[in-house]
């Protein structure tokens, strides 16, 4: 019980919620988390869209996404509690920063050295009915993405309530505007580069907080950097075209 209280106690602290809800600086960070969640979930949204297309009608497609949404919420709550505890160990911070930097570097490496696409697909035998196999696939994609997202979010703010609000809004926004985001990325492809550039910056921000360095980038400043980066991306796109 003590471990559960330590992991998930902050979620049930009314004063913590009151402080976050009434703080303009905290809402700036939440907005940053939502924007990063949306930008980094574009690949996830594309995969989700492709997965639901195998279902025979729109009703089942929407239903599968609805079940996936609630599963994503439950898993995000569990993962944030664990992550908020582990992130206090500087070794975890170093490992997390290294992993986030790996994500950014590997993205840019793959972009410069794309692999040729394979033709043809092997047929898969399904253990579950088609609908539930799609729901499970959606949940697995959410789990894989949540690990990266929660780690990046906790690097920006150690307050689990802020991360939870940003994550829940981000998940809902990703589901609701996935098609808009995909169209926007097609119009402004530079946004993908911006997203992974921010991941590299988050990795540096997380690494700087280890006790041996102990440099903290203010949350308000980081939020301004995130918003400024996105605005600058649109400006650069307009200039290039």
Within-domain flag for 223? yes
Within-domain flag for 214? yes
Within-domain flag for 11? no
Within-domain flag for 122? no
Within-domain flag for 5? no
Q: What domain range is 76 assigned to?
A: 26-112+128-240
Total count of domains within the chain: 1
Per-residue pLDDT tens listing for the chain (241 residues)? 565 665 666 677 788 788 888 888 888 888 887 877 766 665 566 556 666 767 887 788 778 877 877 777 787 777 777 766 666 667 877 887 888 788 889 888 988 887 765 555 554 566 778 788 888 877 776 666 666 667 777 777 777 788 778 777 877 776 665 556 556 667 888 887 887 888 888 888 878 878 888 887 776 787 788 888 888 999 999 998 8
Within-domain flag for 195? yes
Closest-CA residue to 138 (of 178, 87, 83, 110): 178
Closest-CA residue to 237 (of 195, 177, 194, 183): 194
Q: Which residues contact 173 (CB under 8 A, 6 or more apart)?
A: 34, 37, 38
Within-domain flag for 63? yes
């Amino acid at each position: 019980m003590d471990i559960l209280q330590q992991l998930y106690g902050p979620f049930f602290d009314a004063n913590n919620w009151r402080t976050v809800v009434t703080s303009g600086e905290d809402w700036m960070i939440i907005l940053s988390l939502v924007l990063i969640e949306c930008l980094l979930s574009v690949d996830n949204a594309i995969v989700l869209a492709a997965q639901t297309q195998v279902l025979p009608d729109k009703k089942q497609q929407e239903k599968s996404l609805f079940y996936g949404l609630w599963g994503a919420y439950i898993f995000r709550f569990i993962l944030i509690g664990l992550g908020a505890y582990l992130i206090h160990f500087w070794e975890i911070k170093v490992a997390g920063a290294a992993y986030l930097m790996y994500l950014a570097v590997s993205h840019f490496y793959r972009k410069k050295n794309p692999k040729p696409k394979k033709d043809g697909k092997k047929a898969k035998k399904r253990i579950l009915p088609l609908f539930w196999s799609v729901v499970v696939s959606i949940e697995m994609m959410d789990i894989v993405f949540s690990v990266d997202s929660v780690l990046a979010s906790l690097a920006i703010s150690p307050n689990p309530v802020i991360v939870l609000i940003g994550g829940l809004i981000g998940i809902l926004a990703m589901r609701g505007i996935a098609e808009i985001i995909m169209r926007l990325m097609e119009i402004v492809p530079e946004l993908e580069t911006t997203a992974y550039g921010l991941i590299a910056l988050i990795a540096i921000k997380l690494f700087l907080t280890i006790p041996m360095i102990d440099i903290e980038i203010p949350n308000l400043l980081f939020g301004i950097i995130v918003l400024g980066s996105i605005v600058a991306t649109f400006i650069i796109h307009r200039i290039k075209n």
